[in-house]
Structure 1
Amino acid sequence: MRIHGMAPALNYGQQAYEGLKAFRTPNDEAITIFRPNRNAKRLQHSAEVVSMPHVPEELFLDAVRAAVALNAEYVPPHDTGAALYIRPQLYGSSAQLGLSPPDEYIFAVFVIPTGVYHGAHPVKALILEDFDRAAPNGTGNAKVGGNYAPVLRWSDKARDEGYGITLHLDSVRHEEIDEFSTSGFIGVKDNGGQVTLAVPDSKCVIESVTSDSIQELARSYGWTVEKRAIKYEELKEFTEVFAAGTAAALVPIRSITRRVGGGEDVVTYIKDGSEEPGPLFEKLLTHLKDIQLGRADDSFGWRYPVGEKDKEIAGAPGGRNGDATTVDQMD
């Protein structure tokens, strides 16, 4: 795919993207996509944030289904637990010198097989004190590249120091939890069987599809779900903490470290030397994966089937991968 060097996507960051997955059901009988309708709505929101037109939900769903159907041979077998990662993109593509809306936008969908990400191994988290992911009333609630590129150097630095993930506090006072750099934050309290899930209510975080799914599962168990401000001091009250995102699904957090006054404040959830995540994490992740892989009843209506008919879109009469790659072909 070619793009002009003066495109707003390359010069002004006018782009948005999504991430979702397709899975094979048991015995490789069918292929389904997990909750693509939610990604369609989120892309519309992101597009609005960076001044681009909406991609209609029906077009988004047709394009995603087509990309999967035309590349069905690359969807990993069910028994591997792996998936086909789907990356829809929307960006300003026409040559544009001034800072004004371009004449052309491209909506494209790419796919690539992906293995089982991270697994369920606990990771240490480091709170970033010297870098704020997003500003109040800024772009933090949109899935745009500008929210991710700046954090790369900080994530690499943290990784070199033994931290597998970084966590952001609110950028105004550094008092409340926002989210992990690439995942949503979920804190869990287990008070003698009375379980409460807490997720941040912040204008600076994206609406995580995985986190929303976990919240729905929790409600189905009769657990309490709270979407509210989470103070830093509350971290020590959680029984378990995990990061929720498309790539890794759920990742258990071993500990959260904050560097203050020349020292370190560490909250530990899983002791060093143990690779066993907590029981609530195990219950939620197992149920989520069972739904995604077709091993459990889909009472929520989250699985969207993909079939041969989904190859039959305008511009792809022969049905082969590579045919459905431009806006014109998707009209």
Structure 2
Amino acid sequence: MGKVDIKWSELGFSYIKTDYRYLSYWKDGKWDDGELTKDNQVHISEGSTALHYGQTAFEGLKAYRCKDGSINLFRPDENAKRLQNSCRRLLMPEIPTDVFIQACLDVVKANEHFIPPYGTGATLYIRPYIVGVGDNIGVNPAPEYLFSVFCMPVGNYFKGGLAPTNFIVSEYDRAAGNGTGAAKVGGNYAASLLPGEEAHQRKFSDCIYLDPQTHTKIEEVGAANFFGITKDNQFVTPLSPSILPSITKYSLLYLAEHRLGLKAVEGDVAINKLGEFVEAGACGTAAVISPIAGIQYKDDFHVFYSETEVGPVTRRLYDELCGIQFGDVEAPEGWIIKI
């Protein structure tokens, strides 16, 4: 096994070239057998639909080093299903669940020495993606496709880790009401760059998007999902056809109800009723849980639990989820694949 010179505690969320990645091509109606390669450069036709028409989708999941040295994958079957949904939305060929999971396993095993040690809080982030390639120029589905999986060690997505930060409501829409908001496609993220940059310039961690139809309800928090804890112990998260179905969010909905005894609710989160929540947070694979200290909406700045301290329910949810992922807490059946 190779060795890497990485200061695990200083990792941020940025690209690091690892040794191997998985690569597979779809042509003439079928996927090839796929293989691991050391080449981190993608060679595609200049006419590829991914370059011109945004025919591209991706996923994000993590591998975790456990206390006993073993490795956990967290719910990769759910990532496979979500990528299949994204592929259907963009008329791309689906990657079978078993192929998706095996590709992730192969990449993790081949790059095991890049998995951060237990106790550092860092993880191995896994990025599967599929893009339309091949010679093309018309607005049509691509004649060929490329599916790849690569990985890298990462630290916290938001600076400070489990520390409250502030967010601002954007005037932009993340996605159209009947558009691609529920699919994890590249165009959604390209559209978020400008509002995200404007939020950063105003010293906020990220922006919050409202529903595109009425601009009265919270939908997403930048590249993550929103949740709030009410005064009467409800875990509430928005429900909308234009929200990306976060695997972390649905895991937290389950844990909130079955482990913490809260009432788990998916429903409307009115931007003018933030006072109903005593705690709030953003959640996702990259972000895990990022406590929201306050939200700036027009001229009003609403503070939840504290601008400096993490709320008790948010911390319990974080500890339960991370405990499961790192193998310290018993996982619900089917949530962990052990390597």
Q: Name the residue aligned to 2:90.
A: 50
Q: Tell me, which stretches of 5 or more residues in structure 1 are unaligned?
A: 307-331
**Does the Cα contact within 8 Å between 1:123 and 1:165 map onto a contact in 2?**
no
How many Å apart are 1:153 and its aligned residue? 2.0
How far apart in 1 are the matches of 2:149 and 2:200? 31
- Find 2:203's aligned residue among 158, 162, 167: 162
Distance 1:200 1:11 in 2: 33
TM-score (norm 2): 0.85
- Note the C-alpha offset of 1:87: 0.2
Q: For 2:265 and 2:192, how far apart are their aligned partners in 1?
A: 28
**Counterpart for residue 137 of structure 1:** 178
**SS of 2:275's equivalent?**
helix
Secondary structure (helix, strand or coil) at the match of 1:172 reads coil
Note the aligned Cα RMSD (angstroms): 1.2
Amino acid at match of 2:267: R
Partner of residue 286, structure 2:
247
Measure how far apart 1:159 and its partner are: 1.1
**CA deviation string 1:114-134 (max 9, x = no partner):** 1244311111110011x1111
Letter in 1 for 2:294: S
Distance between the aligned counterparts of 1:283 and 1:124, measured in 2?
21
* 2:164–2:306 CA contact under 8 A, matched in 1: no
Aligned partner of 1:66 in structure 2 is 106
Q: Deviations over 1:37-56 (max 9, x none)?
A: 11000000111111111111
* Conserved 8 A contact 2:169-2:296: yes
State how far apart, in whole Å, the 2-side matches of 1:271 and 1:210 are.
23
8 A contact 1:250–1:285 mirrored in 2: yes
- Per-residue CA deviations over 1:128-173 (Å, capped at 9, x if unaligned) read 11x1111111001110110011221221121121111210111111
Question: Is 1:290 paired with 2:317?
Answer: no
CA distance in 1, matches of 2:126, 2:325: 14
- Give me the identity figure in percent: 38
- Structure 2 residue aligned with 1:190: 231
Measure, in 2, the Cα distance between the counterparts of 1:282 and 1:39.
25
Residue 27 of structure 1, CA deviation: 3.4
User: What SS class does the counterpart of residue 84 from structure 2 fall into?
Assistant: helix
Distance in 2 between the 1:224 and 1:35 partners? Answer: 23
Alignment partner for residue 82 of structure 1, among 117, 122, 147? 122
User: Displacement of 1:270 after TM fit?
Assistant: 3.9
Counterpart residue identity of residue 111, structure 1? C
SS in 1 for 2:119: helix
Instruction: Please tell me whether the aligned partners of residues 278 and 305 of structure 2 are also in contact (alpha carbons under 8 angstroms).
Output: no
Q: CA offsets per residue over residues 154-194 of structure 1, 9 Å max, x none? A: 21121121111210111111111111120001011133xxx
8 Å contact kept, 1:49–1:142 = yes
Determine if the alignment matches structure 1 residue 109 to structure 2 residue 152. no
1:223 is the counterpart of 2:262:
yes
User: CA–CA distance in 1 between the matches of 2:231 and 2:327?
Assistant: 29
Aligned residue type for 1:188: I
Q: Distance in 1 between matches of 2:135 and 2:104?
A: 27
CA displacement, residues 43-85 of structure 1 (integer Å, 9 cap, x when unaligned): 0011111111111111111111111111111111112121100
Separation in 1, partners of 2:201, 2:139: 39
Stretches of 4+ aligned residues off by more than 2 angstroms: none
- Indicate which of 266, 280, 301 corresponds to 1:266: 301
Contact 1:16–1:46, Cα closer than 8 Å, also in 2: yes
Structure 2 partner of 1:205: 243
Distance (Å, rounded) in 2 between the aligned partners of 1:72 and 1:9: 30
Unaligned runs of 5+ in 2: 1-41
Q: TM-score, normalised by structure 1?
A: 0.87
Partners of 1:117 and 1:178 in 2: how far apart? 20
Of 153, 161, 165 in structure 2, the residue corresponding to residue 123 of structure 1 is 165
- The residue identity in structure 2 corresponding to 1:207 is P
Distance in 1 (CA, whole Å) between partners of 2:88 and 2:273 is 34
Shift of 1:95: 1.4
Letter in 1 for 2:302: V
| Count of residues in Structure 1 that have an aligned counterpart in Structure 2 | 295
Secondary structure (helix, strand or coil) at the match of 2:73 reads: strand
Question: Which position in structure 1 is the counterpart of 2:73?
Answer: 33
Amino acid at match of 2:304: Y
The answer to which of 175-184 and 95-104 deviates more is 95-104
